[in-house]
Amino acid sequence: MDNGQYLHLELSAPLLSELQIIAQQEHSTVEQLVLTAIREKISVLTHDNYIRTRAKRSNRAAFEEALANVSTQEPEEWDRI
């Protein structure tokens, strides 16, 4: 049983056409593409908000102090990227 709620969207003909073409290329449906796009947008906005919140709590002096404690010595050969 589907407990989801429905949302009616009115899309322009060109946008719907483009979505249908992409859905076919991706072996998906227009509905799945739209849901994925919404999830991705929510994720971006949520993470952006998290980063902004953390940035407000930042302390430049503490950051500079931590950087000053980083070794300038080259890593061992086995530890190089």
Cα distance between the two ends of the chain: 51
Cα 65 to chain centroid, rounded? 31
pLDDT at 75 over 80: yes
Residue 20 burial (CB count, 10 A): 13
Q: What average pLDDT is seen over the chain?
A: 92
pLDDT at 77 over 80: yes
Write the pLDDT tens digit of every residue in 28-62: 999 999 999 999 999 999 999 899 999 999 999 99
Please give the pLDDT value at position 2.
65
Give the C-alpha separation, 69 to 81, whole Å. Answer: 21
Please give the pLDDT value at position 71.
87
Please give the pLDDT value at position 34.
95
> Looking at beta carbons, which pairs linking 48-56 to residues 24 or more positions away fall under 8 Å?
none
